[in-house]
Protein backbone atom coordinates (compact mmCIF):
# COMPACT_ATOMS: atom_id res chain seq x y z
CA UNK A 1 0.00 0.00 0.00
CA UNK A 2 1.34 3.45 -0.87
CA UNK A 3 2.20 5.95 1.85
CA UNK A 4 -0.02 8.96 1.16
CA UNK A 5 1.22 11.03 4.09
CA UNK A 6 0.99 14.71 3.04
CA UNK A 7 4.35 16.33 2.43
CA UNK A 8 5.29 19.51 4.25
CA UNK A 9 8.39 21.43 5.26
CA UNK A 10 7.79 22.51 8.83
CA UNK A 11 9.51 23.07 12.12
CA UNK A 12 9.73 19.87 14.11
CA UNK A 13 6.85 19.68 16.60
CA UNK A 14 7.03 19.78 20.36
CA UNK A 15 10.41 20.46 21.90
CA UNK A 16 12.38 21.20 18.72
CA UNK A 17 11.35 24.60 17.36
CA UNK A 18 14.94 25.08 16.16
CA UNK A 19 14.71 22.09 13.79
CA UNK A 20 13.18 22.12 10.30
CA UNK A 21 12.66 18.61 8.90
CA UNK A 22 11.94 18.43 5.20
CA UNK A 23 8.71 16.71 4.27
CA UNK A 24 9.32 16.94 0.54
CA UNK A 25 8.65 13.62 -1.23
CA UNK A 26 11.93 13.80 -3.16
CA UNK A 27 13.87 14.29 0.07
CA UNK A 28 12.08 11.44 1.81
CA UNK A 29 12.66 9.14 -1.15
CA UNK A 30 16.35 9.99 -1.51
CA UNK A 31 17.15 9.76 2.19
CA UNK A 32 15.58 6.29 2.25
CA UNK A 33 17.86 5.18 -0.58
CA UNK A 34 20.81 6.87 1.12
CA UNK A 35 20.23 5.00 4.37
CA UNK A 36 19.85 1.57 2.77
CA UNK A 37 22.81 -0.68 3.58
CA UNK A 38 22.81 -1.91 -0.03
CA UNK A 39 23.63 1.56 -1.39
CA UNK A 40 27.24 1.58 -2.57
CA UNK A 41 29.72 4.46 -2.28
CA UNK A 42 29.09 5.84 -5.77
CA UNK A 43 25.33 6.01 -5.33
CA UNK A 44 25.72 7.30 -1.76
CA UNK A 45 27.78 10.26 -3.01
CA UNK A 46 25.29 10.95 -5.79
CA UNK A 47 22.38 10.96 -3.35
CA UNK A 48 24.20 13.34 -0.97
CA UNK A 49 24.81 15.69 -3.91
CA UNK A 50 21.14 15.48 -4.88
CA UNK A 51 19.88 16.05 -1.33
CA UNK A 52 22.12 19.04 -0.60
CA UNK A 53 20.45 21.63 -2.89
CA UNK A 54 17.00 20.43 -1.86
CA UNK A 55 17.85 21.08 1.79
CA UNK A 56 19.56 24.39 0.98
CA UNK A 57 16.45 25.46 -0.94
CA UNK A 58 14.49 25.24 2.30
CA UNK A 59 17.28 26.67 4.46
CA UNK A 60 17.59 29.79 2.30
CA UNK A 61 13.89 30.56 1.94
CA UNK A 62 14.24 33.62 4.20
CA UNK A 63 17.19 35.26 2.45
CA UNK A 64 16.66 39.01 2.00
CA UNK A 65 16.57 40.37 -1.55
CA UNK A 66 16.89 43.77 -3.16
CA UNK A 67 14.70 44.98 -6.02
CA UNK A 68 16.61 45.62 -9.23
CA UNK A 69 15.79 46.90 -12.70
CA UNK A 70 17.13 44.83 -15.62
CA UNK A 71 16.46 43.98 -19.26
CA UNK A 72 15.22 40.73 -20.74
CA UNK A 73 15.88 40.16 -24.48
CA UNK A 74 12.53 41.88 -25.06
CA UNK A 75 12.12 44.69 -22.52
CA UNK A 76 13.11 46.31 -19.25
CA UNK A 77 11.50 44.87 -16.12
CA UNK A 78 11.78 44.47 -12.34
CA UNK A 79 13.52 41.61 -10.57
CA UNK A 80 15.28 40.68 -7.34
CA UNK A 81 18.77 39.72 -6.25
CA UNK A 82 20.00 38.13 -3.02
CA UNK A 83 21.32 40.84 -0.74
CA UNK A 84 23.58 38.89 1.64
CA UNK A 85 27.10 37.54 1.50
CA UNK A 86 27.06 33.78 2.23
CA UNK A 87 29.80 31.57 3.64
CA UNK A 88 29.76 27.77 3.61
CA UNK A 89 31.59 25.92 6.39
CA UNK A 90 31.81 22.14 5.91
CA UNK A 91 32.91 20.25 9.01
CA UNK A 92 35.70 17.94 7.83
CA UNK A 93 35.63 15.32 6.73
CA UNK A 94 32.04 14.24 6.04
CA UNK A 95 30.92 17.82 5.38
CA UNK A 96 33.04 17.80 2.22
CA UNK A 97 30.44 15.55 0.62
CA UNK A 98 27.95 18.43 0.61
CA UNK A 99 30.24 21.20 -0.63
CA UNK A 100 30.22 20.71 -4.39
CA UNK A 101 26.43 20.67 -4.63
CA UNK A 102 26.18 23.58 -2.19
CA UNK A 103 28.46 25.71 -4.38
CA UNK A 104 26.38 24.80 -7.42
CA UNK A 105 23.29 26.05 -5.58
CA UNK A 106 25.05 29.12 -4.16
CA UNK A 107 27.79 29.90 -6.70
CA UNK A 108 28.80 33.21 -5.09
CA UNK A 109 29.27 31.68 -1.65
CA UNK A 110 32.68 31.55 -0.01
CA UNK A 111 33.92 28.25 1.45
CA UNK A 112 35.77 28.01 4.76
CA UNK A 113 36.80 24.81 6.55
CA UNK A 114 36.72 23.47 10.09
CA UNK A 115 38.16 20.05 10.91
CA UNK A 116 36.78 18.01 13.80
CA UNK A 117 36.77 14.33 14.67
CA UNK A 118 35.01 12.33 17.35
CA UNK A 119 37.16 10.90 20.13
CA UNK A 120 36.17 7.23 20.21
CA UNK A 121 36.59 7.01 24.00
CA UNK A 122 34.84 10.20 25.12
CA UNK A 123 32.58 10.67 22.06
CA UNK A 124 33.53 14.38 22.25
CA UNK A 125 34.58 16.42 19.20
CA UNK A 126 38.25 17.27 18.84
CA UNK A 127 39.21 20.26 16.68
CA UNK A 128 42.26 19.71 14.45
CA UNK A 129 41.88 22.20 11.57
CA UNK A 130 40.78 25.84 11.31
CA UNK A 131 41.42 27.94 8.22
CA UNK A 132 39.08 30.81 8.93
CA UNK A 133 40.37 34.30 8.11
CA UNK A 134 40.83 36.82 10.90
CA UNK A 135 37.24 38.09 10.88
CA UNK A 136 34.00 36.80 9.36
CA UNK A 137 33.25 38.56 6.05
CA UNK A 138 29.82 36.96 5.59
CA UNK A 139 26.29 37.92 6.59
CA UNK A 140 25.12 34.30 6.74
CA UNK A 141 27.27 31.26 7.52
CA UNK A 142 25.88 27.81 6.69
CA UNK A 143 27.48 24.87 8.48
CA UNK A 144 27.44 21.66 6.43
CA UNK A 145 27.64 18.22 8.02
CA UNK A 146 25.60 15.14 7.02
CA UNK A 147 25.03 14.03 10.61
CA UNK A 148 23.86 15.83 13.74
CA UNK A 149 24.38 13.07 16.32
CA UNK A 150 25.49 14.21 19.78
CA UNK A 151 25.56 17.78 18.50
CA UNK A 152 29.02 18.32 19.97
CA UNK A 153 30.76 19.16 16.69
CA UNK A 154 27.93 21.42 15.53
CA UNK A 155 27.83 23.23 18.88
CA UNK A 156 31.61 23.69 18.97
CA UNK A 157 31.58 24.88 15.36
CA UNK A 158 28.85 27.41 16.14
CA UNK A 159 30.87 28.70 19.10
CA UNK A 160 33.97 29.07 16.91
CA UNK A 161 31.97 30.86 14.23
CA UNK A 162 30.38 33.26 16.72
CA UNK A 163 33.79 34.06 18.18
CA UNK A 164 34.90 34.66 14.59
CA UNK A 165 32.17 37.27 14.22
CA UNK A 166 29.38 35.34 12.48
CA UNK A 167 26.02 36.95 13.30
CA UNK A 168 23.69 34.61 11.42
CA UNK A 169 24.36 30.86 11.38
CA UNK A 170 22.36 27.94 9.99
CA UNK A 171 23.12 24.21 10.06
CA UNK A 172 22.26 21.97 7.11
CA UNK A 173 22.55 18.20 7.41
CA UNK A 174 20.82 14.99 6.43
CA UNK A 175 20.26 12.90 9.57
CA UNK A 176 19.60 14.34 13.03
CA UNK A 177 19.19 12.71 16.44
CA UNK A 178 16.99 14.20 19.18
CA UNK A 179 19.99 14.44 21.51
CA UNK A 180 21.95 16.59 19.07
CA UNK A 181 19.00 18.82 18.31
CA UNK A 182 18.39 19.32 22.03
CA UNK A 183 22.04 20.24 22.65
CA UNK A 184 21.96 22.82 19.87
CA UNK A 185 18.71 24.24 21.24
CA UNK A 186 20.39 24.61 24.63
CA UNK A 187 23.78 25.91 23.46
CA UNK A 188 22.73 27.88 20.38
CA UNK A 189 18.96 28.48 20.25
CA UNK A 190 19.50 31.13 17.56
CA UNK A 191 20.97 28.59 15.10
CA UNK A 192 18.28 27.06 12.91
CA UNK A 193 18.79 23.42 11.91
CA UNK A 194 17.68 21.91 8.59
CA UNK A 195 17.65 18.14 8.07
CA UNK A 196 16.15 15.50 5.83
CA UNK A 197 15.28 13.21 8.74
CA UNK A 198 14.90 13.27 12.52
CA UNK A 199 15.76 9.75 13.65
CA UNK A 200 14.82 7.92 16.83
CA UNK A 201 17.85 8.10 19.14
CA UNK A 202 21.57 7.65 19.71
CA UNK A 203 22.84 4.23 20.68
CA UNK A 204 25.50 3.45 23.30
CA UNK A 205 28.25 4.23 20.77
CA UNK A 206 26.60 7.56 19.91
CA UNK A 207 25.54 6.47 16.44
CA UNK A 208 22.19 7.69 15.12
CA UNK A 209 19.51 4.97 15.04
CA UNK A 210 18.18 3.86 12.65
CA UNK A 211 20.63 6.22 10.92
CA UNK A 212 22.77 5.36 7.93
CA UNK A 213 26.03 4.22 9.51
CA UNK A 214 29.19 6.33 9.32
CA UNK A 215 28.58 9.05 6.72
CA UNK A 216 32.30 9.73 6.19
CA UNK A 217 33.10 6.06 5.61
CA UNK A 218 30.21 5.67 3.18
CA UNK A 219 31.10 8.86 1.30
CA UNK A 220 34.77 8.03 0.90
CA UNK A 221 34.68 4.22 0.79
CA UNK A 222 36.71 3.76 3.95
CA UNK A 223 34.35 1.50 5.91
CA UNK A 224 35.04 -2.11 6.76
CA UNK A 225 33.32 -4.74 4.73
Q: Are 83 and 62 in contact (CB under 8 A)?
A: no
Contacts of 195 (CB under 8 A, 6+ apart): 19, 20, 21, 22, 55, 148, 172, 173, 174, 175, 176
- For 154-178, how does the pLDDT look when each residue is reduced to its tens digit (9 = 90+)? 999 999 999 999 999 999 999 999 9
Q: Are 148 and 175 in contact (CB under 8 A)?
A: yes
> Is the pLDDT assigned to residue 8 strictly greater than 60?
no
- For 29-80, how does the pLDDT look when each residue is reduced to its tens digit (9 = 90+)? 999 999 999 999 999 999 999 999 999 999 999 999 999 999 999 999 999 9
- Identify the helix (H) or strand (E) that includes residue 45: helix 41-59
- Prediction pTM value: 0.88
- For 63-122, how does the pLDDT look when each residue is reduced to its tens digit (9 = 90+)? 999 999 999 999 999 999 999 999 999 998 889 999 999 999 999 999 998 876 666 566
Report the alpha-carbon distance of residue 95 to residue 178 in Å, rounded: 20
Report the alpha-carbon distance of residue 157 to residue 213 in Å, rounded: 22
Domains in the chain: ranges and CATH: 12-220 (3.40.50.2020)
> Is the pLDDT assigned to residue 196 strictly greater than 90?
yes
Q: Are 154 and 180 in contact (CB under 8 A)?
A: yes
> Is the pLDDT assigned to residue 130 strictly greater than 70?
yes
| Partners of 58 in the β-ladder | none
- Identify the helix (H) or strand (E) that includes residue 128: strand 125-130
Amino acid sequence: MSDRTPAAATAAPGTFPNLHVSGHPLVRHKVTLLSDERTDTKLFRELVRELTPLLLYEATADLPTTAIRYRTPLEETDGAQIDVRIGLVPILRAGLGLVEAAIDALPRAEVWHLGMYRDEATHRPVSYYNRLPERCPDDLVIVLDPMLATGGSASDAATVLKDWGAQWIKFVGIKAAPEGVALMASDHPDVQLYAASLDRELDANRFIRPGLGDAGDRLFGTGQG
